[in-house]
Amino acid sequence: MDQDYAGLQKLVAEARAEIDARRLRPRVNALEGKDVVFQMGDFKMPFTAEGFLMSFSLPNLHFHATTAYDILRLKGVPLGKRDFMGPPRLKK
């Protein structure tokens, strides 16, 4: 997929609009406390939904985001810590 930065930003905006249109928040919140089994072949890892998110999914997301960030920097893309962290969510 060959996209420039503006094209990628458009894809993100479209994905966010689609998520908002489907009103997924109540459906996601209803998963709290439910069982989730992550399976790779015969290997199974049982979680609660929130345990899966907080101790498996989010750490994996951060690992891959960090790895992509590091590769981009290695290739000369002018990125810094603020690019990785994004804007801080300050108290209003």
pLDDT tens-place string over residues 15-61: 989 888 888 888 888 999 999 999 999 999 999 999 999 999 999 99
Euclidean distance between CA atoms 47 and 57, whole angstroms: 11
Which one has a higher pLDDT value, 24 or 63?
63
Torsion of CA 17, 71, 2, 18, to 10 degrees: -10
pLDDT (0 to 100) of residue 1: 57
